[in-house]
Amino acid sequence: MDRMNGKNRQIKNRLLRLIPAVVCMLMIFWMSDRPAVESSVQSGGITMSTIRIISGVSEMSEAEQEDLALVLEPYIRNTAHIIEYAVLFFAVLFAVSAFSSGILRASFISLLICFLYAITDEWHQMFVPGRAVQTEDIVMDTAGALLAMALYLLIRKWRRLYCKKGEIYSKIWD
């Protein structure tokens, strides 16, 4: 009986580890499901907020700030893609590592899942008013997941080389 309860608990814990990845995917879907006009207004607002944070911009005229926003907006959008898929990578890795043996294997599976999700996300945007498939977005999304994977593997490598067993880094990254 105890063996069966332990098995059920293990299955439950593995399924619970899927929640962060599903939440990230739902957030990405929700953002992608917004019509182009609404998405552009949000991006423009984020860009203007970013510009106002930069020192020296307060001395610029409104027209100069808007010109700067037009220049910066593509970079801010691409950065957003990279960040959201880096977060998705870690959420997917958290889930996949419960089912897969070996961190390298789990990392590549997670990267593949993020890449495939980026493709389905762009495909979904074909059905959203004013939106279209943009290969550049798939590249940025995959780059975000790839950067997260590289960072994770580098930190794990560094931890193995320089941290003693039992230190806090071992507890975080194992």
How confident is the model over 97-112, as pLDDT tens digits?
998 889 999 999 999 9
Look up the domain containing 144 and give its range: 2-173
The confidence score (pLDDT) of residue 125 equals 93
The confidence score (pLDDT) of residue 82 equals 96
What is the reported pTM? 0.82
- Please list, in sequence order, all residues whose beta carbon lies within 8 angstroms of the beta carbon of residue 1, skipping any fewer than 6 positions away: none
By three-state DSSP, how is residue 13 classified? helix
The confidence score (pLDDT) of residue 114 equals 98
The confidence score (pLDDT) of residue 164 equals 66
Q: Which amino acid is at 130?
A: G
The DSSP secondary structure of 71-112, one letter per residue, reads HHHHHHHHHHHHHHHHHHHHHHHHHHHHHSSSHHHHHHHHHH
Indicate the number of domains in the chain. Answer: 1
Residue by residue, pLDDT tens for the chain (174 residues) are 556 677 788 888 889 999 999 999 999 999 999 888 888 888 888 888 877 777 566 677 878 878 888 888 888 889 999 999 999 999 999 999 998 889 999 999 999 999 999 999 999 999 998 888 999 999 999 999 999 999 999 998 888 777 766 555 555 555
- Please list, in sequence order, all residues whose beta carbon lies within 8 angstroms of the beta carbon of residue 152, skipping any fewer than 6 positions away: 89, 90, 93, 107
- Please list, in sequence order, all residues whose beta carbon lies within 8 angstroms of the beta carbon of residue 39, skipping any fewer than 6 positions away: 31, 131
**Phi, psi for residue 135 in degrees, rounded to 5:** -60, -35
| Burial (0-12, 13-18, 19+ Cβ within 10 Å), 145 | buried
The confidence score (pLDDT) of residue 110 equals 98
The confidence score (pLDDT) of residue 56 equals 66
